[in-house]
Structure 1
Amino acid sequence: MSGPRTPDGDLSQFSMLELFRMEAESQTQALTDCLLSVERHAEPATLEAMMRAAHSIKGAAAIVGLDVIVQLAHGMEDAFIAAQHGLLKLSPNRVDVLLAGVDLIVQCSHLQESGLQGWLATQGDTIRRTMEAIRGIAFLPEPVAPVPSAAPAPAPVASPAPLAPAQPPPPAAPPPPAAHFAAAPDPVPEPALPALPAVPAVPAETPVPRGARPAVQSDRLLSLAGEARIAAHQMQPLIQAMQRHKRHQAALFAALDDLNEAIGRTGDPVLREKAAQVLHRGQPLRQFILGHMGDMEQYERRLLTVAQGMVDEVLALRMRPFRDGVHHFPRMVRDLARSLGKDVRLEIRGEETLVDRDILARIESPLNHMLRNAVDHGIESADARARAGKPPHGTIVLEARHRAGMLNVEIHDDGGGVDPERIRSAVVARRMATQAMADTMSHAELMQFLFLPAFSLKTEVTEISGRGVGLDIVHDTIREQNGTVRLDSVPGRGFHTHITLPLTQSIVRSLVVDVGGEAYALPIVKVERVLQVPRTDIHTLESKQFFEYEGEHVGLVSAAQALDLGEMTHQELLPVIVLGSGAHRYGLVVDAIRGEHSLAVHSIDPVFGKLRDIAAAALLNDGEPVLILDVPDLLMSIDKLLAEGGLHQLARAGSTARRRMKRILVVDDSLTVREMERKLLTGRGFEVDIAVDGMDGWNAARSGDYDLVITDVDMPRMDGIELVNLIKKDLHLHTLPVMIVSYKDRPEDRARGLAAGADYYLTKGSFHDETLLDAVADLIGDAFR
């Protein structure tokens, strides 16, 4: 990954050495990119850019007194000038030497002043040989084909890039400096000399510039932005309360109007005057509430817009272009290919695609492994490519783009690909499947075997591959980031890797569910399907329960049991979330499904350690805390339950399983009251439907088969008293029990409700959980017929 960037503002806070490190980082990256490009096509603009970069490094190094870098940059600058004048061809062997010089500059620039002398002492011989190689670069022998080195190029570190392997030094006695590039003829081929020793990577000790703490600061800002969004949503209950107040006020003024009309009929002038004064004084109240409700709704919209804008801006701060994480890959591919005697080019597409910085850092190793695999396993030798009618150089394409709200990274090459029959034979040889089973496996199923530990198609073991270690780690790393990876191959035409990841780990699109009376969230990318499974569709075999899904038997597991939350509630239709794949696919039974939410992720405090089955925490829009489940960990817990044979039965046995749950309709315009009553009744085993006002309740009562209606009184469009009247006067519904639950607790209010035909009147202010449940039991009994 790239280091600190030079800020656009005041530079006075940085020392000269820190400024030099910043410049050296950008200029050496430019040199590396240009050297890889000029190796293929020596364009004048590229040569000019390299000459300017070397000149800039030389001048900056002279200011801070790094003579070693001054000499290296000066020799490289001379070589670039000679190439500009046509006196020198930058062939691969010469590019090797120049890249070695770039590596030395990178290594030296990352040293602290206190460690410089010690590093110069230990690397003195390498530095001297590299300088001599650059000064005598015109007389380097250039073999017809690259000579493989004894050891492949090491995997790149984040910063700086490794030295190139297999770099032949110059002859023992280079020509005088004045005649370095004068009319340099094509050199006579000579045997390749021993390679220049690679410079060990020096850990970057550059202190983080003052004010540059992006990771911690952006995490804190994201947390604050999420809290601001939650605070904005807290306006909604207040607005709903104002709407109820408006309805009550409207009812009051309607009563006053009726009273005024009644007084007018009496003919008493004093009463008429008093009534007119009351109406006149009440008129401003109507306008007051209407105006303030509009202001509150507008204020809520502004708060939500600002809060969401803050979240979006903080997320933008966390995003980095894809190139920041992959800029060293072209060098790595080139060096590894030359060490293997191959000619391979890496094309990077979508470099400007924005990626969350944490994801970018964590996928660097998997991408590195896939590219090394492509060079070693995929791309054939020049002779084999010629026989196949392919160009002598192999091509690997690394591409990143956004698609359907996700980050897609694809790696494909034009190599030999993987023969599925070789995988089939290896599966049988390793006794992972019988021959009959292997013969029935599809292409996609066979490709999945490449992700298994210790599974390799290489017959020989090298430092690069053959040990069967790698693709399983790639698979696990991508899954840890809530992503997926898929392989595809066409024999003789190449290998294709598809990686899909969330755009950011800071905001996770999740499915929120209820389990044991608590909210839990599952990342959407881990959810295969959401279903409702009737109890009658559940089958039992050897004490394990399952249902049919896409022609397969999928095991059912209670989420409450898997999370150690006790018994789940019994419902006729079970909400089921299908998780996992293959033999580890399960149906997770939850109490209820709330829906999809975008959650700002909060890490669990390290003091708690790793919580089983839990990945992180978040807050819903109403401020309710929710735990985000660690799905791979949860699947392991389910496997353990299966192995121990301790699964609870989800379907009731015998006649109990065939009993129908009684249905209750809850009618209330308050979301809080509706949900409280629904949870209480569902927990007791009833099937509960909800309606948001009297008219909605009337439509639901006429179209549904209910055993009880529970209704509020004050509601829009149609109040509860009118709803009770309609139900009791209906030919088909008049026997349906109706319970009124209202804040009005005056004797006249109770009498009015019972007079309308209600079978029970309960006040919200006095009842608790058991009061409501006892009242329901008095009216219709228990939850099952």
Structure 2
Amino acid sequence: MSHDQQGDLSQFSMRDLFRMEADTQTQILTDGLLAVERLKGDAGALEAMMRAAHSIKGAAAIVGLDLVVQLAHGMEDSFVAAQQGRMQLTPNRVDALLAGVDLILQIARLDDANADAWLAANGAPIRTTLDLIANIAYLPEPPSSAPQAAMPAAPAAPTVPSTPPALPASAAPAAPGAPAAPLPQDAASAPPAAQAETTTAPTVTPLQATATADEGAAIPVARLPAPLKAAQNFDRLLSLASEARINAHQLHPFIQDLQRFKRNQSSLFSLVEQLHEAIANSSDASLKEKSLLALQKTHPLKQFLLEHIADIEAYERRTLAVSQNMVDEVLTLRMRPFRDGVQAFPRMVRDLARGMGKDVHLEIVGEDTLVDRDILARIESPLNHILRNAVDHGMQTPAERIAAGKPGTGTIVLEARHRAGMLSIEIHDDGRGVDLEKIRATVIARKMAAPQMAAALSPAELLEFLFLPAFSLKESANEISGRGVGLDIVHETIREQNGTVRLESELGQGFRTSITLPLTQSIVRALVTDIKGEAYAIPIVKVERVLKVPPAAIHTLENKQFFDFGGEHLGLVSAAQVLELGEMEAGGEDLPVVVIGSGTRRYALVVDAIRGEQSLAVQAIDPIFGKMRDISAAALLDDGEPVLILDVPDLLLSIDKLLHEGGLHQLARADHAGRRRMKRILVVDDSLTVREMERKLLLGRGFLVDVAIDGIDGWNVVRSGEYDLVITDVDMPRMDGIELVTLIKKDVHLHKLPVMIVSYKDRPEDRARGLSAGADYYLTKGSFHDETLLDAVSDLIGEAPL
């Protein structure tokens, strides 16, 4: 513990200090017991456990916890016996000692007000644990090497009741005295009565609950209690550090002004020199003298400015470095070693596997990897789910593993490291893996994909189905898994942290989960954009592409605008409309676009301008505002300008809502100059073949073409854009072409728009109805060829400009 931490201890009571020490020492005991179980006779672990038990015993004596003193004393005697070779710490004995560790931790965390009542209410299970530890040498170990489920030690301590039964403290059992004689090496040397009582290992029942897939967590992480306002203090400190960095950046424009002044001064000095040379050729001695004096006075001014610009540039560099170091140091305060969030997992995996008749060892690599404390807290549950799935789904029993040519003990590796500025976490095991064909069959059986499509799915695509809610390969559920929950929660939680998760599997060899996360949520690398004159930032991990779209590349279908992006029709959405800032004022220039989302929820967000990338110190929005729609946080740009950081998942929901309501604004419709250069035609037809044929003919002649699939769609589109001509079919669902023509000709804004009717059926009544409704041209599909249509278009609106 550092000197600073030592100084903070004055605010804690002796009972608080004992709780802190118990948290630390019980973790040492847990780690040591798992180590000696895995590595028989680990002298280093035994020595550490002896010291931990001795420390707990001494601390408990100071605060008057006699029960903990007895527990720690019995455990210490066990470690001495194991160290001297008089007893082996077999799995059943480790179970009993772990039960003692849990009991110590629970007693340490009891509130003073309800401690006596809780101890009295749990007298029987406490006595059982004390007896087990006192007589630990007599616990038999089954001859088989397979793990037994007789004594499952729960990974989680139950919640202490806030109002336990009011029983006197004297009801708590007195522990048997610690054995004075040397402990026998095994149960065979125990007295006959003892042998008769311990034919089978007694079940540990005190204060424990079998862990389930939903309970998740293991023994809470040992942490030094922090002041109540620690989080607020950190946020304030980070805010001040980022403001210092911003102030340092604001020196740069001042220096640029000085550089401009220096250039102007140099021009002035040059003119003075030229003037002096001109005067030097004259005969006026007084003028020469004054000219020389003026020239001499310019030299110190020039040197003065040069020196001071150099000084202030050096000051700027130092200030920027100091302010950036300050931000980095503040962020470091928020970082915690990876072990703080995962140190309880080895015990959880061991207990869970042992309860299922399996032998599994969790190996943690990269315990010192630094992680933001908030991220560490939020990924604890996803990692818990993954490890439980690995034990339940992936790991075979020792007999099955040996039959498959593997060691009887299964291994899960949990590794954390920094890679490419991100936190990379990998969990891989040497279990049975996942049968991809079983996933394929399940997908087909549940009609989630057609057989032909399912057969073409790649391994990576098949594994993505495991992230879907209620998707499980287990035929029956147990308390650990099989309900179809787990990986969907993992996927959602990781995405909420701006991370990604990827699965890999090799049947019979193992399973791998790869998670990538930002190192911290306090600093975000973001793309800064302008929307309606205000700065908005999008986290760079949520941005797929940034590009510019020419207005000529934009097409309209079903009142939605899109452009071709790598063979995909990508929908265009106005950022100003989504954020309810008004309608974009589009011009003839290319539209700046940010591509966000994935899969079917992938959109091109149109902004006013793109400034570039910046690292932003995230500042939470005041809680008085509540959760702001589409906004996640705020920050300050390098020049001090405030910027709102967009919440991309929320933004995607808002876009979906706009699409559902059909209220999207049309983009680039104010491109009047472009419209004069490129005439635009709307083709309305319910036949895909006819639409595409007409569109290609007209595009080939140089017209801009939008399409609509029926009369209703055509009516919506023609009102939202500026067109030079509408070409429509007659027979269409929802609204036929005659009705469309009628609506257009009756509209006060559209009545002058030329409309051509093109129909397969040359029925006189249709022709009469169409011309009566106001159609400017009627052409039958059966009689026209390419030039006929183009000639008709030319007659109505002229040729397309070159």
For the aligned pair, the TM-score class normalised by the smaller chain equals 0.7 to 0.9
2:527 paired residue among 480, 505, 511 = 511
Mapping for residues 427-446 of structure 1, pairs under 5 Å: 427-446=443-462
SS, match of residue 389 in structure 1: coil
After superposition, the C-alpha distances for 1:596-636 in whole angstroms (9 at most, x for unaligned) are 11000000111111111111000000001111110111111
1:641 paired residue among 658, 672, 679 = 658
Q: 1:111–1:204: 8 Å Cα contact kept in structure 2?
A: no
1:625 paired residue among 642, 646, 656 = 642
After superposition, the C-alpha distances for 1:271-327 in whole angstroms (9 at most, x for unaligned) are 112222222333322222222211111111111111101001111111111001100
Paired with 1:218 and 1:624, the residues of 2 have a C-alpha distance of 22
Mapping for residues 339-488 of structure 1, pairs under 5 Å: 339-488=355-504
2:623 paired residue among 600, 606, 610 = 606
Paired with 1:540 and 1:489, the residues of 2 have a C-alpha distance of 43
Paired with 1:141 and 1:381, the residues of 2 have a C-alpha distance of 22
- TM-superposed CA distance for 1:417, in Å, is 1.3
- TM-superposed CA distance for 1:207, in Å, is 12
Paired with 1:206 and 1:17, the residues of 2 have a C-alpha distance of 16
- TM-superposed CA distance for 1:523, in Å, is 0.9
Q: 1:510–1:597: 8 Å Cα contact kept in structure 2?
A: yes
Give the aligned partner of residue 589 of structure 1: 606
Give the aligned partner of residue 775 of structure 1: none
- TM-superposed CA distance for 1:45, in Å, is 2.3
Paired with 1:202 and 1:290, the residues of 2 have a C-alpha distance of 65
Distance 1:504 1:450, change over 3 A: same
1:332 paired residue among 348, 362, 368 = 348
2:179 paired residue among 177, 180, 187 = 177
Give the aligned partner of residue 561 of structure 1: 577
Distance 1:33 1:202, change over 3 A: closer
1:198 paired residue among 203, 207, 214 = 207
Give the aligned partner of residue 95 of structure 1: 94
Paired with 2:150 and 2:460, the residues of 1 have a C-alpha distance of 37
2:38 paired residue among 21, 35, 40 = 40
Q: 2:221–2:343: 8 Å Cα contact kept in structure 1?
A: no
User: What is the number of equivalent residue pairs in this alignment?
Assistant: 648
Q: 1:613–1:629: 8 Å Cα contact kept in structure 2?
A: yes
- TM-superposed CA distance for 1:650, in Å, is 2.5
Letter in structure 2 aligned against 1:285: L
SS, match of residue 266 in structure 1: coil
Q: 2:394–2:511: 8 Å Cα contact kept in structure 1?
A: yes
Paired with 2:4 and 2:342, the residues of 1 have a C-alpha distance of 20
**Identical positions, percent:** 65
Paired with 2:236 and 2:669, the residues of 1 have a C-alpha distance of 49
Q: 2:23–2:223: 8 Å Cα contact kept in structure 1?
A: no
Q: 1:651–1:657: 8 Å Cα contact kept in structure 2?
A: no
Give the aligned partner of residue 7 of structure 1: 5
- TM-superposed CA distance for 1:258, in Å, is 2.7
Give the aligned partner of residue 753 of structure 1: none
Paired with 1:102 and 1:6, the residues of 2 have a C-alpha distance of 29
Distance 1:32 1:654, change over 3 A: closer
After superposition, the C-alpha distances for 1:478-516 in whole angstroms (9 at most, x for unaligned) are 111111111111111111111100000000011111122
Paired with 2:312 and 2:671, the residues of 1 have a C-alpha distance of 56
Distance 1:480 1:176, change over 3 A: closer
Give the aligned partner of residue 293 of structure 1: 309
- TM-superposed CA distance for 1:9, in Å, is 4.5
Paired with 1:310 and 1:654, the residues of 2 have a C-alpha distance of 49
Q: 2:337–2:371: 8 Å Cα contact kept in structure 1?
A: yes
Q: 1:152–1:340: 8 Å Cα contact kept in structure 2?
A: no
SS, match of residue 113 in structure 2: helix
Paired with 2:22 and 2:398, the residues of 1 have a C-alpha distance of 36
Give the alignment's TM-score, normalised by structure 2: 0.76
Give the aligned partner of residue 528 of structure 1: 544
Paired with 2:151 and 2:605, the residues of 1 have a C-alpha distance of 54
Give the alignment's TM-score, normalised by structure 1: 0.77
- TM-superposed CA distance for 1:138, in Å, is 1.4
Distance 1:202 1:564, change over 3 A: closer
Give the aligned partner of residue 133 of structure 2: 134
Letter in structure 1 aligned against 2:205: L
Give the aligned partner of residue 742 of structure 1: none
> Quick check: 1:572 aligned with 2:589?
yes
Q: 1:112–1:205: 8 Å Cα contact kept in structure 2?
A: no
Q: 1:510–1:599: 8 Å Cα contact kept in structure 2?
A: yes
Letter in structure 1 aligned against 2:364: I
- TM-superposed CA distance for 1:153, in Å, is 4.5
Distance 1:6 1:293, change over 3 A: closer
- TM-superposed CA distance for 1:518, in Å, is 1.3
Letter in structure 1 aligned against 2:231: A
SS, match of residue 260 in structure 2: helix
After superposition, the C-alpha distances for 1:553-611 in whole angstroms (9 at most, x for unaligned) are 22222222222222223343222222111111122222221111100000011111111
- Structure 1, unmatched stretches of 5+, are 160-172, 662-783
Aligned residues: CA RMSD: 3.0
SS, match of residue 536 in structure 2: strand
After superposition, the C-alpha distances for 1:690-716 in whole angstroms (9 at most, x for unaligned) are xxxxxxxxxxxxxxxxxxxxxxxxxxx
Give the aligned partner of residue 27 of structure 1: 25
Letter in structure 2 aligned against 1:21: R
Letter in structure 1 aligned against 2:179: P
SS, match of residue 640 in structure 2: coil
Paired with 2:330 and 2:567, the residues of 1 have a C-alpha distance of 45
Q: Which moved more, 1:392-401 or 1:579-588?
A: 579-588
- TM-superposed CA distance for 1:334, in Å, is 0.5
Letter in structure 2 aligned against 1:465: S
